[in-house]
């Protein structure tokens, strides 16, 4: 039987609720919304860790960062199998387009075709993605293939931001305009975890414009897939590596930090316009792609989504999901663990000692500065700014009532039972996965004996 091709498309820093199909702006991502109508959407899918290289390393190994070695911007350990090794051994041709150095060590992946960011208009030119992908398809007519197409949008610098030229210099001239540019007055409300300030609205509009250019890349690639006649034999997966690069999102463990807009189109297998509302980990993608390709995944931390996609088994919804954080792009360590259980989100901040201050790339640009400037005259904003810098060891949120994670209930006696249940579940996970911070976590919680 002919093997399925696999096309894995990733966005860079696109929040899980940005596409229209996931409740976002109805004009932000028309091609992704069409892809969602052609496949299955996962409305509660989460990446393992909300920063790009470790998130991608987890996807390509099916293992937690502390088990594959890539907790931050480090290479995957040599003894850990990676997806392309397994697929290559099964006769697949493999290619990567953009974000090449965000999977380390690069030689381990054995890509048959490598297209760097600079060849793709700094990872933001739909035409160049289309040309490079079409060339790869021409070379792969006689073999199954796996292609990882990585858009560099909507990563900072956003379209229209003052720092585009500062970051890219003259090379910025090769970056095309998005097919739609948003303004502050037509971008819609800012996410609920951010204050509604003029500069925040401006920057959110810039972000949406960049998200639209990511959608343009998706459109260009899928058009080439159709033109080459490969669409009917190709499993298409789309997701983002983490939330958007704003305060309280990327490089954290909040709901919006790890929620990803997962879409799977599997022609003739997945029911179009279908939906899975259960908690889903992106560690599940590795065994899923292995099963589709007919290779054994080995020992991994995820479980195949094939039963959900095919509807062949009565798959129960997961009761809990864990996400983690270790290290920023600047290699600052902020150990965090999060568990979603019984409608609550619990975060343990292993770094929060009252004096250590959080600093990350999500504090660049207009939004964080606007929050700092307003803090002098707005007590609510001041409290948010101060909390973001130092946090609390324990955070607990009622995700049904407070999805933006604004009210920390960890010290509320009325929620003591929920706090203990989440802590007990996280403790069990840390023990099972041999989390090296288990002892430190145990020292900060007070649980009944035997838990």
Give the per-residue pLDDT at 110: 97
Is the pLDDT reported for residue 248 higher than 90?
yes
Would residue 451 count as lying in a domain?
A: no
The dihedral sign for the CA sequence 389, 395, 396, 400: positive
Question: What's the rounded mean pLDDT across residues 308-317?
Answer: 84
Does one domain contain both 378 and 305?
no
Task: Answer with the one of 291, 313, 335 that is the final residue of a domain.
Answer: 313
Give the per-residue pLDDT at 170: 87
Does one domain contain both 257 and 397?
no
Q: Are 335 and 327 in contact (CB under 8 A)?
A: no
User: 371-392: per-residue pLDDT in tens?
Assistant: 999 999 999 999 999 999 999 9
Task: Answer with the one of 313, 332, 365 that is the final residue of a domain.
Answer: 313
- Which of 87-91, 272-276, 293-297, 444-448 has the lowest average pLDDT? 444-448
Q: Are 21 and 37 in contact (CB under 8 A)?
A: yes
**CA distance linking residue 368 with residue 256, whole number of Å:** 17
Does one domain contain both 335 and 433?
yes
Would residue 412 count as lying in a domain?
A: yes
- The phi, psi pair for 83, rounded to 5°, reads -55, -45
- The phi, psi pair for 212, rounded to 5°, reads -65, -35
- Which of 20-24, 48-52, 140-144, 396-400 has the lowest average pLDDT? 140-144
Is the pLDDT reported for residue 448 higher than 90?
no
Question: What's the rounded mean pLDDT across residues 177-199?
Answer: 97
**What is the chain's mean pLDDT, rounded?**
96
The pLDDT-based confidence of 135 (bands split at 50, 70, 90) is very high
Model pTM? Answer: 0.97
Task: Give, in order, the Cα–Cα distances in Å from 77 to each of 104, 108, 272, 301.
Answer: 9, 10, 39, 16
Is the pLDDT reported for residue 249 higher than 80?
yes
Does one domain contain both 13 and 125?
yes
Would residue 450 count as lying in a domain?
A: no
Q: Are 336 and 351 in contact (CB under 8 A)?
A: yes
Give the per-residue pLDDT at 1: 60
Does one domain contain both 300 and 401?
no
285-293 vs 52-61: helix crossing angle, rounded to 10: 40
User: 24-33: per-residue pLDDT in tens?
Assistant: 999 999 999 9
Would residue 257 count as lying in a domain?
A: yes
Does one domain contain both 10 and 55?
yes
Does one domain contain both 129 and 40?
yes
Question: What's the rounded mean pLDDT across residues 352-370?
Answer: 96
Q: Are 435 and 336 in contact (CB under 8 A)?
A: no
**Structural domain span for residue 191:** 5-313
Does one domain contain both 298 and 373?
no
Please give the share of the chain, as a percent, with pLDDT higher than 70.
Answer: 99
């Amino acid at each position: 039987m002919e093997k399925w091709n696999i096309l894995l498309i990733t966005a860079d820093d696109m929040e899980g609720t940005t596409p229209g199909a996931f409740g976002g702006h109805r004009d932000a991502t028309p091609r992704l919304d069409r892809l969602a109508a052609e496949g299955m959407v996962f409305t509660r899918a989460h990446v393992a860790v909300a920063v790009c290289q470790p998130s991608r390393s987890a996807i390509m190994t099916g293992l937690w960062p502390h088990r594959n070695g890539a907790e931050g911007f480090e290479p995957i350990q040599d003894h850990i199998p990676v997806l392309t090794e397994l697929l290559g051994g099964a006769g697949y041709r493999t290619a990567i387009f953009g974000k090449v150095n965000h999977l380390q060590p690069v030689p381990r992946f054995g890509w048959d075709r490598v297209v760097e960011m600079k060849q793709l208009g700094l990872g933001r030119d739909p035409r160049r993605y289309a040309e490079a992908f079409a060339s790869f398809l021409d070379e792969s007519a006689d073999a199954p293939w796996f292609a990882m197409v990585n858009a560099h949008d909507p990563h900072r610098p956003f379209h229209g931001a003052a720092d585009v030229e500062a970051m890219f210099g003259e090379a910025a001239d090769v970056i095309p305009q998005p097919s739609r540019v948003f303004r502050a007055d037509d971008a819609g409300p800012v996410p609920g975890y951010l204050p509604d300030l003029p500069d925040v609205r401006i920057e959110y509009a810039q972000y949406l414009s960049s998200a639209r250019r990511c959608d343009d890349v998706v459109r260009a690639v899928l058009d080439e897939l159709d033109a080459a006649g490969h669409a009917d034999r190709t499993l298409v997966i789309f997701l983002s590596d983490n939330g958007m690069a704003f305060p309280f999102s990327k490089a954290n463990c909040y709901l919006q930090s790890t929620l990803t807009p997962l879409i799977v189109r599997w022609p003739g297998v997945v029911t179009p316009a279908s939906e899975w509302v259960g908690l889903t980990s992106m560690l599940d993608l590795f065994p899923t792609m292995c099963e589709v390709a007919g290779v054994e995944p080995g020992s991994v931390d995820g479980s195949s989504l094939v039963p959900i996609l095919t509807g062949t088994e009565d798959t129960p919804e997961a009761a809990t999901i864990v996400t983690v954080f270790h290290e920023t792009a600047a290699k600052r360590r902020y150990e965090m663990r999060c568990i979603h259980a019984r409608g609550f989100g619990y975060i343990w901040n292993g770094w929060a000692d009252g004096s250590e201050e959080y600093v990350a790339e999500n504090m660049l640009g207009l939004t964080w500065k606007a929050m700092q400037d307003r803090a002098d005259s707005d007590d609510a904003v001041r409290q948010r700014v101060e909390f973001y810098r130092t946090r609390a060891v324990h955070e607990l949120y009622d995700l049904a009532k407070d999805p933006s994670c604004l009210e920390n209930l960890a010290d509320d006696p009325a929620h003591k039972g929920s706090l203990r249940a989440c802590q007990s579940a996280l403790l069990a996970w840390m023990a099972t996965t041999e989390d090296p911070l288990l002892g430190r976590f145990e020292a900060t919680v007070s649980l009944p004996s035997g838990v």
